[in-house]
C-alpha cells in the first residue's frame, strides 16, 4: 500500500509505475521503418505538395493547377490511364492463369520455385535496361526485325510499332505478368481443396465450383491485384522515356518536360502540380486495393 492508501503496481524490476500502467517499448521496432517512410515518402510528397502552390519566383499561385487543363496534359493523362488499364487487365489475366498453373502442381516442386524466383526478378526488371533488351531483339536493328524483313513480313518490317503506344504496352507486360504471379499466388494458395470436394459431393461440377465458390472468393483479390498493376504502370517513367522520347505520351514524361524544357520554358511548380495529380490517382487506387485485400482476408 502506498502512503495514500492505494495499491502500488510493481514492474518486473519491482518498481511501481504511476497510474498503474507500464510503458510499452514494442513500438521501437517500427522506428526504422517509420523513419524510412517519413524520409523517402512523406517528406518528398510534402515538398512536392508545397511547391505546387508556388511559381518560379517563389510567389504563391494556383495557376499551376489551372495549367493541368492544357490539351497535351489532358491527352497524356488519357494515354497514361489507357495504357496502364490495358496492361493491368492483360497482365492480371495472363498472370492469374500462370499462377493457377503453378498452384495445380506440387507446392514444393522445382518448377514452382523456379517460376516464383524468376517472377521476383522479372517483376523488378524495368527501366532503360528493359527498353534496350526489347530494342536489341525486336527493334529496327534487332535479330527478330531482320528475320521478319528477310522473309517478307512487310507490316512488321515497315511499322516501327515498338516505339509507339502499342509497343510500350507490350514492354509493360514483361514486368506486369510476373508481378501478378507474385501478388495473386497467395490468394490461390488460400483456396481449400475441401471446398471443391464439398461441391462435388453435393452434385456440383467445375462450373458450379468456380461460379459460386472460388470465383466470388478470388474476384476481390484479382481486382485488387489488377489495381496494383495499374498503379505500377501508371507511375513508370524510365521505360517509356527510353522507348518514346518524342511527344511524351505519359504523365511522368510531362513532369520531366516541365523540369527540363528544351525551349527554356522551365516550370517547376507546374511539374509538381502534375506530380500531385499522379499522387492523388495512385493513392485512390492504393486505397481501393487495400479495401479489396481486407475483404479477401476475411475468406482466405
> How confident is residue 78, by pLDDT bands cut at 50, 70 and 90?
very high
How confident is residue 13, by pLDDT bands cut at 50, 70 and 90?
very low
pLDDT at 102 over 70: yes
The answer to whether residue 195 scores a pLDDT higher than 60 is: yes
Q: Has residue 285 been placed in a domain?
A: yes
pLDDT at 150: 80
Confidence of residue 145 (pLDDT cuts 50, 70, 90): confident
In a domain, 143, yes or no: yes
Residue 53, domain member (yes or no):
no
Average pLDDT of 267-277?
Answer: 91
Which band of pLDDT confidence, cut at 50, 70 and 90, is reported for residue 246? confident
What is the average per-residue pLDDT within 226-250?
A: 89
- 52 belongs to a structural domain: no
Cell (9 digits) for 49: 505538395
Query: Is position 5 within any domain?
Result: no
Strand partners, 16: 10
When divided into structural domains, the chain yields a total of 1
Instruction: Show the DSSP H helices in the chain as ranges.
Output: 31-37, 43-51, 63-66, 71-103, 110-122, 127-138, 143-150, 154-158, 165-189, 193-201, 206-209, 215-234, 238-243, 251-259, 268-297
Q: What is the DSSP string of 9-51?
A: -B-TTS-B-GGG-----GGGGGHHHHHHHIIIIIHHHHHHHHH
The number of CA neighbours under 13 Å toward the Cβ of 287 is 6
CATH classification at residue 162: 1.10.3720.10
- Classify residue 185: in a domain, yes or no: yes
Q: Which three cell numbers stand for residue 80?
A: 497514361
Burial per residue of 144-182, b for 16 or more beta-carbon CB atoms within 10 angstroms, e otherwise: ebeebeeeeeeebbeeeebbebebbbebbbbbbbbbbbb
Residue 12 pLDDT class (50, 70, 90 cuts): very low
Residue 43 has pLDDT above 80, yes or no: yes
- Pairwise pLDDT comparison (204 vs 154), residue with the higher score: 204
| Percent of the residues in the chain that have a pLDDT greater than 90, as a whole number | 38
pLDDT of residue 83: 95
- pLDDT classification of 174: cutoffs 50, 70, 90: very high
Instruction: Calculate the average pLDDT of the chain.
Output: 84
In the predicted model, is pLDDT for residue 103 greater than 80? yes
Of 194, 188, 199, 187, residue with least CA distance to 295: 187
Supply the range of the domain harboring residue 239. 67-297
User: What average pLDDT does this structure show over 59-87?
Assistant: 92
Amino acid at each position: 500500500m502506498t502512503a495514500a492508501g492505494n495499491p502500488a503496481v510493481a514492474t518486473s524490476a519491482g518498481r511501481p509505475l504511476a497510474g498503474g500502467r507500464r510503458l510499452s517499448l514494442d513500438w521501437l521496432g517500427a522506428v526504422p521503418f517509420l523513419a524510412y517512410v517519413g524520409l523517402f515518402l512523406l517528406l518528398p510528397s510534402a515538398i512536392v505538395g508545397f511547391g505546387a502552390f508556388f511559381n518560379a519566383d517563389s510567389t504563391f499561385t494556383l495557376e499551376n493547377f489551372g495549367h493541368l487543363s492544357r490539351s497535351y496534359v489532358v491527352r497524356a493523362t488519357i494515354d497514361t490511364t489507357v495504357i496502364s488499364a490495358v496492361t493491368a487487365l492483360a497482365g492480371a489475366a495472363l498472370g492469374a492463369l500462370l499462377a493457377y498453373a503453378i498452384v495445380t502442381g506440387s507446392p514444393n516442386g522445382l518448377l514452382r520455385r523456379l517460376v516464383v524466383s524468376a517472377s521476383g526478378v522479372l517483376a523488378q526488371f524495368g527501366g532503360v535496361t528493359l527498353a534496350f533488351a526489347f530494342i536489341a531483339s525486336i527493334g529496327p536493328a534487332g535479330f527478330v526485325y531482320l528475320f521478319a524483313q528477310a522473309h517478307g513480313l512487310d507490316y512488321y518490317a515497315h511499322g516501327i510499332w515498338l516505339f509507339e503506344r502499342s509497343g510500350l504496352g507490350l514492354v509493360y507486360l514483361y514486368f506486369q505478368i510476373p508481378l501478378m504471379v507474385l501478388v495473386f499466388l497467395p490468394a490461390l494458395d488460400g483456396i481449400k481443396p475441401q471446398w471443391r470436394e464439398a461441391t462435388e459431393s453435393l452434385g456440383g461440377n467445375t462450373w458450379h465450383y468456380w461460379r459460386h465458390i472460388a470465383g466470388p472468393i478470388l474476384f476481390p483479390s484479382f481486382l485488387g491485384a489488377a489495381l496494383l498493376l495499374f498503379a505500377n504502370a501508371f507511375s513508370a517513367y524510365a521505360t517509356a522515356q527510353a522507348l518514346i522520347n518524342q511527344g511524351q505520351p505519359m504523365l511522368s514524361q510531362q513532369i520531366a518536360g516541365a523540369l527540363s524544357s528544351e525551349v527554356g520554358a522551365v516550370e517547376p511548380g507546374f511539374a509538381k502540380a502534375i506530380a500531385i495529380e499522379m499522387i492523388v490517382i495512385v493513392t485512390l487506387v492504393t486505397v481501393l486495393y487495400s479495401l479489396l485485400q481486407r475483404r479477401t482476408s476475411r475468406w482466405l
